[in-house]
Amino acid sequence: MRKTVNQKAWFLVLPVILLVAFSAVIPLMTVVNYSVQDTFGNNVFFEVGLEWFEEILHSERIHAALGRQALFTTIILLIEIPLGIFIALNMPKKGFWASASLILVALPLLVPWNVVGTIWQIFGRSDIGLLGHTLANLGIEYNYSQDVLSAWITIIVMDVWHWTSLVVLLCYAGLQSIPSAYYQAAKIDQASRWNVFRYIELPKMMGVLLIAFLLRFMDSFMIYTEPMVVTGGGPGNATTFLSIDLVKMAIGQFDLGPAAAFSLIYFLVILLVSWAFFTIITNIDKQEN
Amino acid sequence: MAKITLSNLAHSYIENPTKPEDYALRKIDHEWTDGEAYALLGPSGCGKSTLLNIISGILTPSEGKILFDEKDVTTETTANRNIAQVFQFPVVYDTMTVKENLEFPLKNRGASKEYIEKRVASIAKSIQVEDILNKKARGLTADAKQKISLGRGMVREDVNAILFDEPLTVIDPHMKWELRTQLKTLHKELGHTMIFVTHDQTEALTFADKVVVMNVGCVLQIGTPEELFKKPAHTFVGYFIGSPGMNFFDVELEGNIAKLDDKQIELNYSYEKTSKKIELGIRPEFVTLTNNSNDIKIEIDRVEDVAHHKIVRALLNGKKVNIIVPEDEKVTEDMTYISLDKDKINIYVDSWLVEGEKIS
């Protein structure tokens, strides 16, 4: 096919370029700007090169936050993905109960994030919260504001409650797209329930599962609001995840230079992992065709 | 392998069927002989898939019984019936290799390693997939996948029957022909009872020893391709089979004389008098175009040349008539009359074929 060359066509792309510039590129550039400068006040800045990046990369505090973050993301992925698959497999496939359970499952996704935090913050309090009070009456030591384990359990359970639904919905959609002939063929072949899952359901769900995994990875890696509302990063620094630490550094301490370098590294890590996932997904698609 | 008997079988998707129209499959009594190849032929929604699903055990019939040999399997599950089914769309296990796909049904039934090895090798040879045995199934073309689903069905030696639910729908035309030939060869080689559902008459007629023609839940005729061509038991069969289908004229009967408007046609058989609707059926192959004004007058609409013969589309008193003219015969403008081959005329009363008494 012959294509016409007309340089004026660039003007048609201009609106998009402007939009993207204002929404992403320019704010990002200010961050880049901060990350390579320092100031002693009076709005006088001077270049410091990559000093902040070096500092952040060698900072014990950031390493600790990254460790907590990785632990948190790993735990919730290990729970939410299998649990989501399990729930999707056991949901009714048609009729009234299919719609009913879909709505029930989708509900947590509709709750705003800070409300989720508030719900669990109150839910877990031992004076007025249903969960906290019940546990206290049962004689179980539970106090998310003072006990590290309690705080972690609360935040993980909260995230599982909030986000497993997403995995469930994606898996459910994947399962619904499997033609009934596959199940009939499996019956005829006398495949066991496990084999049906292993060779029919799981391969057919692989695409949506990767998307679920990617979304849950990104979201949990950037989690801020819910733990901030429930524990505020405490007790001590026990639930200070990367974004909480970043906000502390940027707004609490007003260390704009290191915070800018920190957020750029943070951004690159997420970009890298997302890119890796994207490559895997497209490769799987290629294999299929 | 087994003889399959359908005894007083009927199925309705409605709970308390009262009218015949409530049935997706009306009462049927039939025996499928062991080792024969059958085709279930009919338009969409005629109940052929319902019948197939009842045989395979996906559906439980609302009335009647189904027996494999003498054993009642009406309520048995698909797995216990020991049948194989090939679906409309290829069903393969994507993540397995071709070989693993073929091994799967045997492994699940706990066959020995040597047996599986031997059996898979022989099936791979008959469906000609030896060269792709170690490839993953997901990358294959539709017809290769369909071959594998077929192979998975045949890998068990003891299957009672192999059922095909329009298996060639997604296959390219040139591969269709090849697969069909292969199926036929495999049937001869292995001798399984095969039941093949299709709405394509060519497929049915070339594949099957016996064709079951169905329409709106009724089995209209079960017969060899030749019987369906020569003696269709119902006007629908005559119309559905053949290209173009049989011609039907409304006639009045008196003994062995059929009155078609003002023309009288002398028949070889004489028929009993009836007040029901009578139709005369004749295949386009046995209608001859003439210029003899003593014959039946028609109006020619158009002539289609389909290489090996011509199809003349005409009207007789406003009703459509098709005539097949051999390739080497000329159609001239004055040929606006037809004569009918007496020996090939069938008489239908209320759409069903009736046999008359031979005139001596």
CB contact at 8 A, B133 and B98: yes
Within a domain: residue B204?
Answer: yes
| Lowest-pLDDT range of A243-252, B116-125, B169-178 | B169-178
Instruction: Give chain A's domain count.
Output: 1
Within a domain: residue B81?
Answer: yes
Please report, in angstroms and rounded to a whole number, the separation of the first and last CA atoms in chain B.
Answer: 48
Within a domain: residue B210?
Answer: yes
User: Residues of chain B whose C-beta is under 8 A from some C-beta in A?
Assistant: 56, 58, 77-79, 83-85, 87-89, 91, 93-96, 104-105, 108-109, 136, 138-139, 149, 152-153
Within a domain: residue A26?
Answer: no
CB-based contacts of B337: which residues, under 8 Å, 6+ apart?
Answer: B289, B290, B291, B292, B293, B294, B295, B296, B297, B298
Instruction: Give chain B's domain count.
Output: 2
Q: Chain A residue with minimal CA distance to B106?
A: A189
Contact B79 A187 (CB under 8 A): yes
Whether residue A5 is predicted with pLDDT greater than 80 in this model: the reply is yes
Half-sphere exposure of B145 (CA within 13 A, CB side): 24
Within a domain: residue B78?
Answer: yes
Same domain, B215 and B275: no
Residue B101 belongs to a domain with what CATH number? 3.40.50.300
Same domain, B230 and B251: no
Which sign does the torsion angle of CA A275, A281, A284, A288 carry? negative
- Among residues A110, A66, A111, A113, the alpha carbon closest in space to that of A225 is found at A113
Residue A108 belongs to a domain with what CATH number? 1.10.3720.10
Q: Is residue B310 helix, strand or coil?
A: strand
Same domain, B165 and B53: yes
- Among residues B179, B220, B221, B186, the alpha carbon closest in space to that of B203 is found at B179
Identify the domain boundary among B192, B222, B240: B240
Within a domain: residue A1?
Answer: no
Tell me whether A224 touches chain B (CB under 8 Å).
no
Mean pLDDT, rounded, of chain A: 87
Within a domain: residue A13?
Answer: no
Same domain, B208 and B263: no
Mean local confidence (pLDDT), B64-81: 82
> How would residue A84 be classed by pLDDT, with cut points 50, 70 and 90?
very high
Helices B98-108 and B142-154 sit at what angle, rounded to 10 degrees? 30
For A200, the domain range is 58-288
Within a domain: residue B358?
Answer: no
Structure tokens at B52: 């197939």
Amino acid at B112: S
pLDDT value for A171: 93
Same domain, B200 and B259: no
How close A133 comes to chain B (CA, Å)? 50
Structure tokens at A60: 């014990």
Within a domain: residue A269?
Answer: yes
Whether residue A16 is predicted with pLDDT greater than 60 in this model: the reply is yes
Same domain, B317 and B218: no
ipTM of the complex: 0.74
| CA–centroid distance for B96 within its chain | 34
Same domain, B50 and B179: yes
Whether residue A192 is predicted with pLDDT greater than 80 in this model: the reply is yes
Identify the domain boundary among B171, B206, B240: B240
Tell me whether A54 touches chain B (CB under 8 Å).
no
Q: Chain B residue with minimal CA distance to A198?
A: B95
Tens-place pLDDT, residues A135-149: 888 888 888 888 888
Within a domain: residue A143?
Answer: yes
- Does the predicted model carry a pTM greater than 0.90? no
Structure tokens at A234: 């405490």
Whether residue B1 is predicted with pLDDT greater than 70 in this model: the reply is no
> How would residue A89 be classed by pLDDT, with cut points 50, 70 and 90?
very high
Tens-place pLDDT, residues A102-113: 999 999 999 998
Q: According to DSSP H, which parts of B68-172 are helical?
A: 78-81, 98-108, 113-126, 142-154
Within a domain: residue A119?
Answer: yes
Same domain, B344 and B306: yes
How close B340 comes to chain A (CA, Å)? 49
Mean local confidence (pLDDT), B121-141: 83
pLDDT value for B71: 81
Same domain, B298 and B224: no
Same domain, B194 and B301: no
Within a domain: residue A51?
Answer: no
Mean pLDDT, rounded, of chain B: 84
Tens-place pLDDT, residues B296-349: 888 888 888 888 888 889 888 888 889 998 888 888 888 888 888 888 888 888
Identify the domain boundary among B240, B270, B301: B240
Mean local confidence (pLDDT), A63-80: 92
Mean local confidence (pLDDT), B280-303: 87
With pLDDT > 70 as the criterion, what percentage of chain A qualifies? 98
Best probe of the A interface among B100, B103, B108, B150, by most A CBs < 10 A, is B108
CB contact at 8 A, B194 and B221: no
CB-based contacts of A272: which residues, under 8 Å, 6+ apart?
Answer: none
Within a domain: residue B145?
Answer: yes
Best probe of the B interface among A188, A196, A200, A289, by most B CBs < 10 A, is A188
Same domain, B211 and B256: no
DSSP single-letter state for residue B15? S
Within a domain: residue A214?
Answer: yes
For B46, the domain range is 4-240
Neighbours of B79 (CB within 10 A): 16
| CA–centroid distance for B163 within its chain | 14
Same domain, B68 and B194: yes
Which sign does the torsion angle of CA A76, A77, A79, A84 carry? positive
Within a domain: residue B356?
Answer: no
**Rounded Cα–Cα distance for residues B244 and A24 (Å):** 67
CB contact at 8 A, A195 and A106: no
Structure tokens at B204: 């049915």
DSSP single-letter state for residue B286? G
Mean local confidence (pLDDT), B155-163: 83
DSSP string, B316-360: ETTEEEEEEEETTS---TT--EEEE-GGG-EEEETTEEE--EEP-
Mean local confidence (pLDDT), B111-129: 85
Residue B312 belongs to a domain with what CATH number? 2.40.50.140
pLDDT value for A1: 59
Facing residue for A181 by CB, picked from B87, B104, B153: B87
pLDDT value for A203: 87
**Rounded Cα–Cα distance for residues B81 and B60 (Å):** 13
